[in-house]
Structure formats: C-alpha cells, structure tokens
Amino acid sequence: MKTVLLAAVLLAPALLAVPARAANADSVTKVEKYLRDDEKALLAAILTHPDVSAQFDAEAPLALSDPKNLAPFLGIWRGKVEAFAEADGARPNPDLEGHYASYAQLMTPEQRAYMIRRLGTMKEDDRNSLIGYLGSVNDALAKNGELTWYTKKVVAGIMDQYRKDLTSYVATPMAQTAKRDAASSATAFAAIQKNDADSRVAAATPVVVTPTDVADAPVVKPPVKPVPKPVKPAPVKQPATAPVVAPSDGSVAVTKPAGGALDQARGAANAGGNGGVVFDGGGAAGQPTGGGAVVVPDGSGTAHPTLSPSGKPGSQAGLAGSIPAVPPSPAEASFEDSIKKMQTKPAPTPWVKHMPTIAGGLIGGLLGGLIGFLLGGPVGMIIGAGIGIAGGAVAGHLLGNKLFQ
C-alpha cells in the first residue's frame, strides 16, 4: 500500500484545473517571465476568481510599461499567491467515499487551474504517468461512480503531493518576503497608479486663457528693425539705335531694338496697345509656357505662375490603420479533454499492477512443481512447475485487474 501511495505522490507533482485564463492571456504570459513554475500554477489558481482577475488586468499593463513599476507589482501578486498557498495547503482530501462522475468533480476550480498549468511544466514521462493515474480514477468511477481501494490511494497521493507543493513554496524566502512586505508593496504601487492617473488627467485637460491672464501678462515689445536707406538706381544707358530711314513707298518705319529680351519689351511698350503678346519663348496668349507661368497680353497685369501638384498621385503617406485584433480563440475544451490533449504517449503501467501476476506465477510454479515432483519425480516437477507458473500468472493477472480497478 505504501508503495502505491509513494508512486502516486512522486508521479503527481501537483493538482489540477481548467485553464482559467480569465485574465488577459497576453499580460499573464508577460508576467510569468518573472515567476517560478510553481508560482505560475498558483497564479492560474487565484485568477479563477473574477474580482482577482479584474484587478490583475487593471494593474498588469502599468507594471509592464516601466521596469521600475515591476517590483511592487510582483510583491503584491506574490503576496496573493503565498496567501492562497498557505490556505489551500491545509485543505483536506475530498470525500473519497462519495459518488462522482469523473475525477474533475474531486477538485476545486482553483485546483483544476493549478493542475493544467503545472502539467505544462512537468517532465514528459511524469506528465504522462499522472494522466495515466487520472485515467484509472475515471475508469473506476465510470463503473458505479465510486472509487476503488486502489484509486482512493491514487487520489490521496495526488492530494498529498499538491499540499506538499504548496507548503514547500510557502517556506521559500521569496514567499516569506512577499508575505511580510505585502502591505508596503500595495502602498508603493498605489502611489504609482495615482501618479499615472494624475499625468493622464493633466494631459487631457485643455489650457484656458482668461482675459485677466492676458491683461496681467507682461508686454514684450518686438525689436525695432532699422530702416534701410534707399539706394539711388544707376542711370540706364540707352542702347544705340540705327538711324531711321523713311522708305520710299511711304510706309511707317519701326526702329529695331539692338538688344535681346529687354529690348523686345521696350519695343513692345513703345508700340502701345497694338504691341501684341509679351514673352520670351513660345506659347499662345493666355496659355502656360514651358516654365509653368501664364502669359497675359501686355498691359493686362503681371503673369501668375500656375500651382503644380505637391507630389505624384498617391505619394502622400497615409495614416497606418490599426492592426486588427486577433479573434478570440474558441471556447476551451472541457477540463478532462484538456488533460487528454497534454498526453504525448501512453502512460506506462505502474509496476505495482504487475505484482499480482508475478506473485501468482511464483506461487503457481512452486505449487505445481511440488505436486509434479510428488507424482512424477524430477520430470514431473519440471512439467508441474511450468503448468503452475502459467496458471498462477493468469490467476494473478485476473485478480490484479480486479484489485486495481
């Protein structure tokens, strides 16, 4: 019996429960980076309570936003974890004589959450063995809703290990420090929350300027810039023009400017309203030139440049849209289905279950050999021992199946 209990205890490092990630899963994952494996499971246990989960969601983002905020935050939550471990570490076994539909009914919601999270940190062989033990409990309950003597030992062994895990954590210096400093950690983090709230209010409050504020404000005169002295323009040297020769046919002779664009402009001005279009390059009147300016007839005003686009179509940088939130995962499977999914290979049969078969074979072999020797001598002893071993092993196997149901 002690061997069975010991095997159950050693192979079941902890108990129990629905993946109770009622709190924000991303925040939980980030906070878990600073926790031990047993603390991760204990945190999952206390987060099954909606009020505790809501507090975690409210505090975690601020704590994770600045490393200076982490110490008091972790102090608060280690204090909560320690208090739960201390209380639940004294929890008695469930009623082993009661009627249940499955092993999930033997556990509290906190214990189920603890088991799911703890299984994820166990060694593969130990995890598969524990799942195998839980399966044997369900097999027994499926028959008549009651535990057998063997499955009672399994449940008691699992509970013993669960309590051992919790009391071992409570005894650590880290847990004891958290218990001692729980109040000061809460005070320190409350001050951080207040400062953060005040900063948000100040940032959101508009600045209102009243007439009194304007009247009381000191008058600052702008500096007086010195007025530059006018510069007398240099006299314009008139270009030499060719002599005017009256044509013999009686037409009017127009003096041809000797210069370039400037002389063209002067000539057009001298020609008056009939001077036509003023430009230095191609283009029709009133249409843009190659330089982007609109050319207007002489005397109508100054040419105005056209407004070209500031960039190519589509070249302006738009505002990046918010990343769509990841859709929520489907509802988690039942606790037992979640446990089964964590099994990576068949659980090994506990060696204690082979004991009836081995014992039956040994006893059968001894009795068969003795009877065979009495009836047929040495040859009869060999034959009798073989028959006895086979018969005893079968009988022991059947008896063992009955005992370990």
Helices 67-88 and 173-180, interaxial angle, to 10°? 100
Partners of 293 in the β-ladder: 305
38 to each of 17, 90, 143, 168, 182, how far by Cα in Å? Answer: 14, 17, 35, 10, 19
Instruction: Give the C-alpha separation, 8 to 25, whole Å.
Output: 32
Residue that the structure tokens 């040419």 belong to: 303
Q: Does the pLDDT of residue 110 top 80, yes or no?
A: yes
pLDDT tens digits along 181-236: 999 999 999 999 999 999 888 888 776 656 665 555 566 666 666 666 666 666 65
Q: What percent of the chain has pLDDT over 70?
A: 55
The amino acid occupying position 321 is G
Summarize pLDDT for 246-279 with one digit per residue, the tens.
Answer: 444 444 444 444 444 444 444 444 444 444 333 3
Pair of tokens at residue 269: 């001005």
Q: What's the pLDDT score for residue 392?
A: 61
**pTM higher than the cut 0.75:** no
pLDDT at 67 over 50: yes
What's the rounded Cα separation, in Å, for the pair 268 and 288?
Answer: 20
DSSP-derived secondary structure for 34-69: TS-HHHHHHHHHHTTSHHHHHHHHHHHHHHHH-HHH
CA 96 to chain centre: 41
Contact criterion met (CB below 8 Å) for 165 and 84: no
Distance, in Å, from the CA atom of 390 to the CA atom of 374, rounded to the nearest integer, reads 19
**Closest to 347 (Cα-Cα) out of 137, 113, 116:** 137
Asked if 372 contacts 380 with a C-beta cutoff of 8 angstroms, the reply is yes
The torsion defined by the Cα of 88, 91, 97 and 98, in degrees rounded to 10, comes to -50
pLDDT value at position 262? 45
